[in-house]
Amino acid sequence: MTSDRDDECYDVFIVHSSEDNSVAEQIDQGLTDKGLKTFAHYKDGIFQVGRRVFDNVLFAISRSDIVLILLTQNALSSHWVTFEILIGLEKSYRENAMCVRLVFQGVSETERLGFKTGTLELIPDIVVDFSEDSWKGNLVSKIKEKVTMRDILPAGNVAHGLVFSYYFGYLAYVLPATKEAIKKSEYYSEEANIFSQKFVIIIPASCKPKSIEGDYGDFLIEKMPKPLEMEFTHGDKKRKYNPTVYKITKTQTTESFFFSADIPFILATMSKMKELGFADIDLRFQVPRFRMTLRELVDHRNNPKCKNTSIIIQFEDKDAKTSPAKDIWNALQDEFSDQKETALLSNVVSSEGELKDRDQHVTAIVTYSSDVEADKTLAEEIMNFFMEKNVKFSNGDAKMQFKGLSRSRWNIFVVSESAVKDVTMAIQFEAALAKSISEDKVQVIPVLVQNSDINRISPHFACTTLLKKEDPAYLDKLWKTLQAGDTKMVELLPAGVVYEGLAYSYFVNYLPLNLIGKTEEGRDFKGRFDDGMKKYNGCCKCVYKLFVIVPASCSIPGPGTRFPKEEHLGPLEPVVIGFRKYFLQLYRLTLENGEQVCYAREYATSVITLHKMTGLVFSGLNGVEMKDQVKKFVEFSRTIVENPLFNERIGGNIVDKCEIVYFDDKMGQKMEQVTAVLEERLQEYIK
């Protein structure tokens, strides 16, 4: 049985901060009075209890014609509100019609104008004054107004593409290998008890990666001399991955932790785009989008190797004095506190009973920490309510009900600040949630104990939409959820315009550095070729060009693969910027007339992301869409490279230094055909 609400559609989805329930209710009633069918956060049963918050948002937006964002003093700084605006903009792009509207209420004109900058300039908005009789009609008119998308949409999907690029190019290798690499580290042998097993990912709001080491008063972060060591093959290149090891010390107590961390270099794509002024990008939306999508990706059910292997920290780096030190310390302290608090293991109690539904028998289990009076009282209240509904619970004292879990239909967890620290509770919750997601049915229902601070509840427990004891109707909502039948657990995230982020990453954050930068010896692009020709005894003509190969399959052969009649001579002297080295590979091709020509080429490794996304359910990208996106990647990349403003802003001309070569290997084109294309282009250049 599937819940009816899974197939329902709505005229308007009202997005609002939880502090604005009363305002949202007033707007909702006004729209209902005008005959619109609405969907709103505050309504009972609208956001499905037990479904992940991320999925509830995607569900609501995908089934609503208009996304109405209520902006009050409470909502202006909400990360969830900005995230929902961006998802709405992506829906607008897919449907080629603006479906987002902004409603300002109780906000000054100065604040409204300050908020409506960048991306938000495109979105129709209205100020609602409840004292005016005409507010309902004016709002409905704004909602029904047809707004065509502009030809050039702000870069709304850049962060989404960058997340997948960062994951497949780095995290997919590093996260599963971190624990073993740590054990081989010289610091681990002496500091095993204070070396975090999780990889810390630090996201600066400015998108300007920089070292986190330094003295920050209460905390000292030191960069250790030796990083972790890993080596993998990505696309056609062998790569060494060396995550940095840090030591953080609380100066007052001299307590310390060791941890490995990364500040994603790919984020610089967005800061550079903003600085260049080449594309309209709003970091207020892109950074939360990057963080939220990354968290969903690394902890997804289809990603067991990466699940629970990372800590993601976003921080405001407004000046040199701000740092993520405190957030890092708190996250590591929580990790080690969880490991130490094993004394509570005997206090986790699971009581189970049979719940008679209309047409089936299902089992419900209530799990709680019995040594906390408030938790115990709430659990008893839930069980007493179930008994009134013909749910018979035993007074069993069973621990770790994995056997019961495997046959249970519903798992209710009493959640409090103390309960979430219990290792047994965490393991049981994780197992229940994994079962729920794998079966694609809502099964896990957290209930928050009264007076517990939701902000102090681990995201591990708060990732699903929960009930609150402080809500007088929480038991009725619980019962409605159980009676609703099977509700889907996971919403697929539409892949959106991934190619934009991939193209910007490759042509803003990588290629110009390689083509315009100089080596430590001062050699420019042409000088690197001349040096390579001498080094490898080229003895032939040279085309000073990098050919970027893009296969339609987005699948790249392994290292050492050569095209027919081609010889790999070796790498040119690299451009070194910071700790990164940018190489070009020199090749020699024998033409049909026997003449030989040297040139550089590489695969556009960014498109590997599209290929790998098709194998990940969460991405929402299938093979047909992949082929469409890779074609758009090629077209968009050529647009970037040939744009005079882009070449001017990056400080040098790359249009005459590279060329994109696309071939449809899915249509039977062989490497011989790529050679033919290369030969044709080389002959043109040597003329």
Report pLDDT digits (tens) over 467-490.
888 888 888 888 877 776 666 655
Beta bridge partners of 262: 201
- How far is the C-alpha of 406 from the C-alpha of 617, rounded, in Å? 24
Kindly state the DSSP code that residue 170 receives in the 8-state scheme. Answer: I
> pTM of the full predicted structure?
0.66
Kindly state the DSSP code that residue 154 receives in the 8-state scheme. Answer: -
User: Does the pLDDT value for residue 9 go beyond 90?
Assistant: no
Domain boundary (119, 144, 169) is at 144
Token pair belonging to 203: 């996201």
Instruction: Give me the DSSP letters along 514-538.
Output: HHH---TT---HHHHHHHHHHHTT-
> Using an 8 Å Cβ cutoff, are 384 and 458 in contact?
no
Question: How remote is the C-alpha of 37 from its chain's centroid?
Answer: 31
Give the model's confidence band at 576: pLDDT under 50 very low, under 70 low, under 90 confident, else very high. Answer: very high
pLDDT for 407 = 57
Sign of the torsion formed by the C-alpha atoms of 408, 414, 417 and 423: negative
Is 390 inside a domain boundary? yes
Report pLDDT digits (tens) over 492-519.
444 456 888 899 999 988 999 999 999 9
Is 102 inside a domain boundary? yes
Domain range for 92: 4-144
- The answer on 670 and 537 residing in a single domain is yes
Q: In the predicted model, what is the mean pLDDT of residues 144-154?
A: 61
Percent share of the chain, pLDDT over 90 = 34
pLDDT for 48 = 63
Give the model's confidence band at 662: pLDDT under 50 very low, under 70 low, under 90 confident, else very high. Answer: very high
Question: How remote is the C-alpha of 633 from its chain's centroid?
Answer: 20
User: Does the pLDDT value for residue 409 go beyond 50?
Assistant: yes
User: Does the pLDDT value for residue 524 go beyond 80?
Assistant: yes
Residues in the chain: 687
Report pLDDT digits (tens) over 528-556.
999 999 999 878 999 999 999 999 999 88
- The answer on 468 and 550 residing in a single domain is no
- Provide the CATH number for the domain around residue 408: 3.40.50
- The answer on 313 and 192 residing in a single domain is yes
- The answer on 362 and 296 residing in a single domain is no
Beta strands in 95-143 (DSSP E): 100-104, 125-127
- The answer on 265 and 352 residing in a single domain is no
CA distances from 589 to 391, 530, 543, 569, 598 (A): 77, 17, 11, 10, 6
> Using an 8 Å Cβ cutoff, are 235 and 612 in contact?
no
What average pLDDT does the structure give for the chain? Answer: 81
Domain boundary (337, 360, 388) is at 337
**3-class SS of residue 573:** coil
Report pLDDT digits (tens) over 330-344.
999 888 775 544 444
The DSSP bridge pattern shows strands 38-40 and 10-15 to be parallel
Nearest Cα neighbor of 533 from 601, 603, 600, 602 is 600
pLDDT for 153 = 38
Report pLDDT digits (tens) over 361-407.
446 788 888 888 899 899 889 888 888 887 555 433 334 444 445 55
Instruction: Give me the DSSP letters along 241-294.
Output: E-PEEEEEEETTTTEEEEEEEE--GGGHHHHHHHHHTSS---HHHHHHHHHHHH
Question: How remote is the C-alpha of 106 from its chain's centroid?
Answer: 32
- The answer on 453 and 368 residing in a single domain is yes
Torsions phi, psi of 356, nearest 5?
Answer: -90, 110
Report pLDDT digits (tens) over 85-131.
777 777 776 677 788 899 999 888 888 888 787 667 778 889 999 99
Give the model's confidence band at 667: pLDDT under 50 very low, under 70 low, under 90 confident, else very high. Answer: low
> Using an 8 Å Cβ cutoff, are 490 and 437 in contact?
yes
Domain count, the chain: 4
- How far is the C-alpha of 237 from the C-alpha of 6, rounded, in Å? 45
